[in-house]
Structures are given as C-alpha cells and as structure tokens.
Amino acid sequence: MESIYDAPPHTIRTNSGLFINVFETDPDTIAIEDIAHALSMMPRFGGHLNRFYSVCQHSILCCKLAMGYGFEYALAGLLHDGSEAYLLDMPTPIKNGLPDYKSTEHRLMEVLANKFGFEFPLNPVIKQVDAKALEIEWNNLVQSDNLEFVCMTPA
C-alpha cells in the first residue's frame, strides 16, 4: 500500500490516484474526472452558506449562463474555476491578498485551457456570467435560504 511519503516532491494526490504538481503542471496529470470530483465536494463562499452548494454546481450554472452568449463560451464557463480543483476555492478578497496564489492559479489555468481547448485569459463574457452567478448564489444562499433554489449533492 502506498504511503503519503511516496508522493513525488511538490505534488498532491488526486482522487484518481494521479499526482499533480501545481507549480510545474504536466497536462498528463490532469483528469477531468478529478476536477469534477474535487469541485463537487468543495463549497462556494468558503462554506459560509445557509446550506451546501458546490463550486461544481457554480460551474454548471456559469456554463448554462455562458451558453446564452453562444455555445463557444460554454466550456470556458464550465471550467473557469478548474484550477480550484487543485488549489481550493479561495474567496476573492483573500485571493487578492495572495499574489503567489494568483500567479500559480494563472499558470495552472493556462495549462487547463490548453489541455481542454478554451480561451484563456478568459473572455469578458465569462467574467460577466461569473458575476451574474455570484449575484444569484449570494441572493439565494447567503442573503436568504431560498428553498426553491435547488442545491445538488456531491454525488
């Protein structure tokens, strides 16, 4: 049985068993299944919600909103937070105070965009849909607990 001490230096082990170095990322160590799994288990807003709502569901909402601008934006909407599968969902006010985090996130997003074929830096359309999703989520899950706003389970 492998030990945590058997991991290659500077890597994390993903759910699929791959080891990824987020500082020098080999695209072959990225699996879409790992991204989906990790983001489905990760809460938005650092967990400060009235009930569980995942980064994965946020990504699905962004994908749906992005399709309203054209199908070519859908994949970027879905994967715009893909780096968070490896770096965690850092609330923006904290992220803004961590320049090393932001540069690591940027490099990792470049690798993800090249591997999966979406535009990076992100098109302003994706920034708009991300802001719209944030507003919807904030109003339904932080400011209130709108039970008509359906939250998916990680499964």
Answer yes or no: is pLDDT of 130 > 80: yes
Q: pLDDT tens-digit profile of 50-89?
A: 999 999 999 999 999 999 999 999 999 999 999 999 999 8
Residue ranges in 24-123 assigned as alpha helix (H): 32-41, 55-67, 74-79, 84-87, 92-95, 99-116
**Residue recorded with tokens 């987020």:** 22
The bridge status of strand 12-13 relative to strand 19-20 is antiparallel
The 8-class DSSP code of residue 54 comes to B
Residue appearing with tokens 């893909």: 82
Q: Is the bond preceding residue 93 a cis peptide, omega within 30 degrees?
A: no
Q: Which residue has the tokens 């607990």?
A: 145
CA distance 121 to 111: 11
- Which of the pair, 95 or 137, is modelled with greater confidence? 137
User: Residue type for 150, please?
Assistant: V
Tell me what the mean pLDDT of segment 111-115 comes to.
98
